[in-house]
Amino acid sequence: MKLAGTGMLASAITPVFGADGEQDKRTKARTKEKSPDSFGIGIAGYTFFQLPLEKAIEIMIKVGVTNLSLKDNYLPMNSNQEKITSVMEAFKVARINVYTLGVIYMKSEQAVDQAFEYARMAGVKMIVGAPDYNLIPLVEKKVKEYDMKIAIHNHGPDNPLFPNATDIWNNIKDMDPRMGICLDIGHTTRDGQDPCIDAERYAKRIFDIHIKDVTLATKDGKTIEMGRGIINIPEFVSSLRKIKYAGMCSLEYEKDMKDPALLQAGIAESIGYFKGVMAF
């Protein structure tokens, strides 16, 4: 909210100089709101992989982020309905919106079955996943059966499974339109690709985004506080506006994961940076 509650503020501003109109004019221009972006900010659950659930909630409240992509460290894949309801309720009470589950790796038909049942029981409408290539047709069958989206996650040069968005696209482009991409801009960059180009090129299948910054555009690149690395975040936000992206941008912060205070500060700086970029 920028100089908002504008009526209040406009009346609170007493012109310093005479009735030359300058201040009134300037103030009015400045109180004009930037229209909000169509995309939101979240956190990708792997960020909290080393912390107890209560600490994850505490950090999300501190940094003021209310959307979470929940990883299975707080909700094992074999959980029953009771367990799932109880964990989802813990986030709901904290006013945190679990908008998806994942990243869920699927290495067998049973794992695909389980993933969709798990997501159904949790009441989400999308899975972020990485099924083995040979399981993609089964995943598509499940997507239709459950009316649930899947956003396949790219993992860069670390993993032969879906190194980049182009590989995901090539595998799903002729499939059900609920088959999509979770574009991880860090792994995209580490794989030598440009996240802006991938976002724009595959726009209609980008269902979720993991935001982060990295130190290098190679396999050796590591997560760093957003704004300190090599990814051009302002350009990326411009691309998201261009394609009218309407999903989440969830921070996946893979640094200082075992130290709650440092992790919290790194998340805070990164979220602050992304909000600052979005403010323009």
Which residues sit at the interface with a second copy, rule CB under 8 A? Answer: 1-5, 8-9, 12-14, 16, 22-23, 26-27, 30, 34, 62-64, 164, 166, 192-194, 196-197, 217-218, 225-235, 260-262, 264-280
Query: What ranges in 100-209 are assigned the alpha helix state H?
Result: 109-122, 136-146, 165-172, 185-190, 195-201
CB-nearer residue toward a second copy: 85 or 232: 232
Q: What are phi and psi of 125, to 5 degrees?
A: -110, 5
CB-nearer residue toward a second copy: 93 or 261: 261
CB-nearer residue toward a second copy: 4 or 246: 4
Task: Please provide the size of the chain in residues.
Answer: 280
Alpha-carbon distance 119 to 221, whole Å? Answer: 32
DSSP 18-64: -S-SHHHHHHHHHTPPPPPPSSEEEEEGGGGTTS-HHHHHHHHHHHT
Alpha-carbon distance 120 to 176, whole Å? Answer: 19
- Minimum separation from the CB atom of position 168 to a second copy (A): 12
CB-nearer residue toward a second copy: 10 or 121: 10
CB-nearer residue toward a second copy: 117 or 256: 256
- Minimum separation from the CB atom of position 223 to a second copy (A): 15
Alpha-carbon distance 58 to 62, whole Å? Answer: 6
Q: DSSP 3-state assignment of 223?
A: strand
CB-nearer residue toward a second copy: 179 or 226: 226
- Minimum separation from the CB atom of position 255 to a second copy (A): 11
- Minimum separation from the CB atom of position 52 to a second copy (A): 16
CB-nearer residue toward a second copy: 33 or 145: 33
- Minimum separation from the CB atom of position 119 to a second copy (A): 31
Alpha-carbon distance 9 to 29, whole Å? Answer: 13
- Minimum separation from the CB atom of position 273 to a second copy (A): 4
Query: What ranges in 37-99 are assigned the alpha helix state H?
Result: 53-63, 81-93
Q: DSSP 3-state assignment of 278?
A: helix
Cβ atoms of 225 and 271 within 8 Å: the answer is no
Instruction: Return the ∠ at Cα 12 (arms to 10 and 18), rounded to 5°.
Output: 80
- Minimum separation from the CB atom of position 134 to a second copy (A): 24
